[in-house]
Structure 1
Amino acid sequence: MYRERASRISGAVLWTSESVADAEHRILPDGSMDVIWLGGRLVVAGPDTIAHMSTPAETARIVGLRFAPGQGPAALGAPADGLVNTRVPLAELWNPVRVRRWESRLSGSPAPGRLLEQLAGERLDEAAPDLRLLATATGLLRAGAPVASVGARVGLSERQLHRRSVRAYGYGPKTLSRILRFGRAVEMVRAGTSPAAVAARLAYADQAHLAREVRQLAGVPLGALG
């Protein structure tokens, strides 16, 4: 069973999952990075450009903090472009002694999700000004603003925006825009909107274009995601 709630960290989501051994889960690209507490260790899920198939080896309770697009590198101290489509132990990115301190505190906590929010939030506070710029850019892209106009609206040239995006999101703003539009399309179809209406509302060329995008990003037809 999967549950989520809005995090105390602006734009982030705290989630829990009761995984069943050998049950396969399809995790769709969403422009985000996660830090995950699983089996007594912390794991970082990098930003995906294709669906990630997860098959837990044992039944377990998993707690994760999904950062808003662009937040992950600031919280974890690692550029996103080096983590695209990967799952790595946090100890490979940080000093292992520091990671063990976090893991020890989480192991002893009756509410590891809240503690994970606190620990990550302390690091994000130090990067607040840059995160505000990224949050504005993400909001514009999520709303469908043309990539060419986003840089100007946040005070960056297109080249500067691209460089900042690669470090923060893992890829350029056009790819993030594509992934965010895909996410909106899946949400709308799951809510009962017809694929034809979704394609028109989200400015896909046609329904066939929407179908190709879903197949490329999710690895399955749109109907399989309902």
Structure 2
Amino acid sequence: MYQERASRVLPGAVVWRAEPGDGPAAPVLPDGCMDLLWADGRLWVAGTDTRPHSTGDVTAARFAGVRLPPGTAPALLGVPAHALVDLRVPLAELLPGVRLPGVRLPDGERTGPGAARALEDLAARLAAAAPPPDPLAAGIVAHLRAGHSVARTAEAVGLGARQLHRRSREAFGYGPKTLARVLRLRRALALARTGMPAAEIAYAVGCADQAHLAREVRELAGTTLGAYSAANRETPQPSGSSTTA
């Protein structure tokens, strides 16, 4: 079971909670974001990813998380993003003394919306006490997500190529070319969930051809677009339904 909602206090952040199902858990795929995690009462930080990760990287029966927008976590945590790429690190190693108030779960409640809310409040307090994130991060993401080249993005945000690479590693964990690939992957996966044919997806996200898209999905997500689409096809939600953490 997995549920998510937009954060009520952190612009652009997503609050989520999950518990393992009966079958194998879907891998966590790169998205350019960093997460604060609550896992059976323990606090972790998930760095940005360059490959699929098993949910077994942090073992627990119950999870809650706050997915922070790309480029915002380093200021909150006080470390550059490249120090945490593909890692899951206890929060205490980065912010000693930070604790989450005890969260009591009612009998029979497994995923704990209370844990999600408490983690969201903790993230908001950390953000309020932290220096502002790199002011260029949002612009870099916006230009790359729109499909602009690295050179055009550098020009748009007023940086040279080397400056853009350095700022991107500090904010996102990797250079702008890798970030562009990850953002393109997310666009492709979103379109795949709608049932769009692979050839049309390749054109829509700016891949040279369908074979290029297939290589990107295999390298970054560890699967094929067809297999992902079959497992994640969107289904209509009942009117008035919601998934709130």
TM (norm. structure 2) is 0.82
- From the superposition, tell whether residues 206 and 61 of structure 1 become closer, same or farther in structure 2 (CA, over 3 Å): same
Report the more deviating stretch, 3-12 or 34-43.
3-12
Percentage identity across aligned positions?
Answer: 49
Distance in 1, Cα, partners of 2:46 & 2:22: 20
Aligned to 1:206: 209
Determine if contact 2:103/2:114 at 8 Å carries over to the other structure: no
Equivalent position of 1:186 in the other structure: 189
More helix per residue: 1 or 2?
A: 1
- For residues 183 and 65 of structure 2, the distance between their equivalents in structure 1, rounded to whole angstroms, comes to 20
**Per-residue Cα deviation, 1:145-200 (whole angstroms, up to 9, x for no partner):** 21112222223222222111101100011110110001100110111111000001
More strand by share: 1
In 2, Cα distance between equivalents of 1:57 and 1:84: 15
Question: In the aligned structure 2, how far is the partner of 1:65 from the partner of 1:136?
Answer: 22
- The residue identity in structure 1 corresponding to 2:34 is M
The 1-side partners of 2:102 and 2:83 are apart by: 26
> Which residue of 104, 107, 132 corresponds with 2:103?
107
Q: Select 2:141's aligned residue among 129, 135, 138.
A: 138
Residue in structure 2 matched with residue 91 of structure 1 by the alignment: 92
Structure 2: gaps (5+ residues): 106-112, 230-245
SS of the residue corresponding to residue 27 of structure 2 reads: strand
Q: Where does residue 168 of structure 2 map in the other structure?
A: 165
Tell me the amino acid that sits aligned with residue 218 of structure 2: R
Residues 114-148 of structure 1 deviation map (CA, whole Å, 9 limit, x = unaligned): 232222223324433x4442112111111112111
Residue 59 of structure 1 deviates from its aligned partner by: 6.5
In 2, distance between residues paired with 1:59 and 1:115?
A: 18
Which residue in the other structure is 1:69 paired with?
70
Partner of 2:220: 217
Partner of 1:13: 14
* Inter-CA distance 171–56: structure 2 relative to 1 (3 Å threshold): closer
For 1:141 and 1:65, the matched residues in 2 are separated by 23
The whole-number CA distance in structure 2 between the counterparts of 1:122 and 1:131 is: 19
Distance 1:157 1:121 in 2: 33
When the two chains are superposed, the root-mean-square deviation of aligned CA atoms in Å is 2.1
C-alpha distance 162-57 of structure 1, shift in aligned 2 (>3 A): closer
Q: CA deviation at 1:9?
A: 1.1
Equivalent AA in structure 2 for residue 138 of structure 1: V
Contact preservation (8 Å) 2:40, 2:60: no
Say whether the 8 Å CA contact 1:20–1:60 is kept in structure 2.
no
The normalised TM-score by structure 1 is: 0.89
Structure 1 residues 61, 197: CA separation in 2 closer, same or farther (over 3 Å shift)?
Answer: same
1:127 pairs with 127, 131, 138, which one?
131
Gaps of 5+ in 1: none
Distance 1:93 1:57 in 2: 17
Between the two proteins, the alignment pairs up a number of residues equal to 220
The SS at the match of 2:54 is strand
1:81 equivalent in structure 2: 82
Q: Can you list the C-alpha shifts for 1:13-60, whole angstroms capped at 9, x where unaligned?
A: 111102248843311110111110011110111110000012389762
